[in-house]
Amino acid sequence: MTRIVLPGDFITDNFLVVSTQAPRLVGYGLQKREDGIYAVNAGILHEHDNKLWLNTSMKRYIPHSGDRVLGTVTAKVGDIFRVDIGGPDLALLNYTSFEGATKRNRPNVKVGDLIYGQIILTSKHFEPEEFVERPSLLEKHFNAENGQYLELYNFFLAVFILAAMGTWLYDFYIYGKYTRIAMKVHSFVRENFCINPTKMPSKTTEQNCANVKNSDASDDVADPQTSTNTPSLTHFVYFMFCPALLYRHSYPMSQTRSWRKVFNHFIHCLASIYAVNISFTQVVIPLFSRIQYGEDGLYLVLLTAIFPSIIPGSVCLFIGIFYGLLHSWLSMFAEAMYFADRHFYSVNFPELVELKKHGLLLPFLELGCS
């Protein structure tokens, strides 16, 4: 039996169910009196077996399809979460409603967690059903037909997070940049103020530098400028931005510069950052977020999280470090500053041995001032 009642309406005078003679259980919105059961609030009367209750909107939320609500997880029954959204009934939330959730990758939701979602189904015969969505203002404007705008939004969001937010990756970038600046300042000071030029094999060094220029530089490389004994501010600024850690008064310089190549290398740097972000957010982070660190054992963590994340981590290493930093980032500054040497990450050990014999690696091997 379901009908609308108002405060003061008479419901029934039978305190026992006629068929089973079981006592009637009165719920919210109803009151037992001497002559019968009466309604004390306005709402919809429900009767099931020996239970009577009233669904009312007083101090309660009436769910509607499409409403965005904030609820609290109260219980978990199998694959279903029961969420209190402030309505007369608890909402049902399936674990597959979470973004990126699969049968293998289940969300780590506990009783008492807050869930932000949208009501997708309401019926008087069923409990409300909701699904979880990201609280993004752009998702309601950019649907599947305008997917390129959503991808562009995700791209700039990833760049903003990696560039502006205080994350561990940002801290790692800052520490790496400070280390690079410290090494450049050390080389600049050591080469100009801490070394006696008469003790260095200058003639042999100039000859080897000329040999390196002739073997590595292309036809469009001009001869280096004449070295000066006293560096200027221009030398210091150029050395701080060029892709080199060993200071010299002059470097092999290219005669041309292509801003198109500079822009392409910059786009490749951003693309590598975006690829690393996607790999971590879609593969690595979900593997570790579902771990119950207080309950799961070490071997389970190794099998379910660490081992599956080795390949994505290796891909991120090659894309982010080797291609994004050592290739694209350094090539961008080299092209913009007419820097001719582009072999930033190529190592030829026999040549290193020959350079060591001639003293060219002395500034790298000695850390202190001589």
Reduce the secondary structure of 93-155 to three states and give it as a string: EEHHHCCCCCCCCCCCCCCCCEEEEEEEEEECCEEEEEEECCCCCCCCCCCHHHHHHHHHHHH
Q: Which fold has domain 68-132?
A: OB fold (Dihydrolipoamide Acetyltransferase, E2P) (2.40.50)
pLDDT tens for each residue of the chain, 370 residues long:
678 888 788 887 776 766 666 777 877 778 787 788 888 888 888 887 778 888 776 656 677 777 778 888 888 887 788 888 877 778 888 877 777 777 777 777 888 888 888 787 776 666 666 555 543 333 344 344 444 555 555 666 666 665 555 555 566 666 777 787 888 888 888 887 765 444 444 433 344 444 444 444 434 433 333 444 677 888 888 888 888 888 888 788 888 888 998 999 899 988 888 888 888 788 877 777 766 665 656 666 667 777 777 888 888 888 887 888 778 888 888 888 888 877 655 555 555 555 554 444 555 544 444 4
Cα–Cα distance for residue pair 96/104, rounded to 1 Å: 11
pTM (two decimals): 0.41
CATH architecture of 2-55: Beta Barrel (2.40)
| Token representation of residue 232 | 């200027």
Q: What is the rounded radius of gyration, in angstroms, for the C-alpha atoms of the chain?
A: 35
